[in-house]
Amino acid sequence: MKLFVDTGNLKDIQALAEIGILDGVTTNPSLMAKEPGDYRETLKKICQVVQGPVSAEVVSTDTAGMLREGRDLATIDEHIVVKVPLTKDGIRACKTLSSEGIRVNVTLCFSATQALFAAKAGASYISPFVGRLDDIGTTGMNLIREIVDIYDNYDFTTEVLVASVRNPIHIVEAARMGADVATCPPAVIEQAFKHPLTDIGLKKFLEDWEKAQATRV
């Protein structure tokens, strides 16, 4: 499963890219609004660092506007994936942009039927939001299972990108279900790295080693 980071923060992206396990980046207008500087330049820098798919979202709500923005975003860098919302206008824009060879991530997906429509429109990625479903008392990961099953039935090439990830359990479940990608906030990746037994074990190994060195003649 590919690991994307869900942020527009260049420092966080750089830190994760250096570790060597980062496959891509997703952004959205709320995340990019927090970042200073020029939107396009920031996206360009992110692409240069990650050298993998970087989702940049349109803010238009009509197809014509999405097409205009999407085509423009796609000129920033070859790694840009245009993100459109799962509306009728968004699906229409997805169909056109995909037919022009521009990769599209259809976002704000909350049902399996929506995911089916995105795949039929040639989306490269579908982004079901699991955390936001959990927030309203529905098990978000059930949606991932449904989408993976449906896409497998028809050999759709659209990748299932698990979004709105809130904890490491979402990552584990996504991987077990065969999702293609999980996009996670930096804090969740940090949490997923940590285990107290790793820290305790490493401390003990080093203490034992030091003790042995001290008694050796």
* Residues annotated as part of the active site: 83
Q: Which residues of 16-35 are buried (b: 16+ CB within 10 A; e: fewer)?
A: bbeeeebbbbbbbeebbeeb
Regarding beta strands 159-162 and 80-85, do their DSSP bridges make them parallel or antiparallel, or are they unpaired? unpaired
Cβ-count burial 89-105 (b if 16+ within 10 Å, e if not): bbbbbbbbbbeeebbbb
* Residue 28 binds ligand E4P (CB under 6 A): yes
- Per CB under 6 A, the segment of 41-49, 60-68, 116-124, 129-137 that binds ligand E4P is 129-137
Residue 63 within binding range of ligand E4P, rule CB under 6 A: no
7 binds ligand E4P (CB under 6 A): no
Binding mask 76-115 for ligand E4P (x = CB under 6 A): -------------------------------x--------
Is residue 2 a contact residue for ligand E4P (CB under 6 A)? no
- Residues that bind ligand E4P in the complex, under the rule CB under 6 A: 6, 26, 28, 107, 127, 129, 131-132, 163-164, 183
